[in-house]
Amino acid sequence: MNNDGQQITHQVYEDPDIVEGYIKRNANDPKQKDLVVSFSKTINGKKVLDLGCGPGHESYIFAELGFDVIGLDFSSEMIRRAKELKESNNKPSFIVGDMTKLNDYFAENQFDAIWASASLLHIRPTDIPATLGGMTSVAKNRAKIFIGLKGGKGTLLANEDKYGKKMQREFTLWSKEKCLSEVKQFGWKLDNFDSKEGSEFMGQPTQWLQFFFTVVK
Ligand SMILES: C[S@@+](CC[C@H](N)C(=O)[O-])C[C@H]1O[C@@H](n2cnc3c(N)ncnc32)[C@H](O)[C@@H]1O
């Protein structure tokens, strides 16, 4: 994987039409809402980081459940849409930022939970240790972490048009074993794992891998 793939992916998420398509397709998914609600019940504390939050729909679900939420995304268009996604009495905060450099934005031991749904799948393999290290650093001891990834192997530049426009995005695909081996050095404890079929990706159903961890410092 090279920087071009990252830049292409970033440009896609800066395209207002694609972001609009993303919101239409994903922002009201009842299954994701159920997942957020069940994960939220495991959290001890109030502060949640939504990592690669996209248009912020899941940040709002946490906020409506009473959590103090910060959504971070490297797309300024996603963050612009997140800020105005809906009215709320407990609005999340949103910042433009790169999830591979979390220590640039947050002090250590800040968060009771980190929600990373379908975002680490855009991080190139060489940046994974820095990203997981940053997550460990900004999380409190005993924080809960959710990671949602696409199953598979290697990296690829995928041609898609599911948001109403032709686009290319770069993906790093994962296996359960790869994820567990990447987090090993950070001492996270696996609480639960699930694998689910999703909509088509590259001619086959997506295999979604869902990891639920506790940070142990
Ligand atoms: C597939 S979307 C997932 C959005 C949302 N979490 C969800 O579950 O619908 C991936 C998001 O990750 C963001 N992203 C990709 N690489 C990133 C990085 N290095 N730092 C921050 N955000 C990133 C993209 O801008 C995009 O909004």
Atom 3 (ligand 1): residue with closest C-alpha?
Answer: 118
Task: Count how many domains the chain has.
Answer: 1
Question: Domain range holding 172?
Answer: 3-214
**Coil, helix or strand for 28?**
coil
The CATH number for 193's domain is 3.40.50.150
Helix (H, G, I), strand (E, B) or coil at 143: strand
Q: Does the CB atom of residue 98 touch ligand 1 within 6 A?
A: yes
Element (H, E) at 115: strand 111-117
217 residues of the chain, pLDDT tens digit each: 456 888 999 999 999 999 999 999 999 999 999 999 999 999 999 999 999 999 999 999 999 999 999 999 999 999 999 999 999 999 999 999 999 999 999 999 999 999 999 999 999 999 999 999 999 999 999 999 999 999 999 999 999 998 989 999 999 999 999 999 999 999 999 999 999 998 888 788 899 999 999 999 9
What's the CA gap between 172 and 154, in Å, rounded? 6
Task: Report how far ligand 1's centroid is from the alpha carbon of 149 (Å).
Answer: 12
Tell me the CA–centroid distance for residue 176 and ligand 1, in Å: 20
State if residue 53 touches ligand 1 by the CB under 6 angstroms criterion. yes
By three-state DSSP, how is residue 123 classified?
coil
Judge if pTM exceeds 0.75. Answer: yes
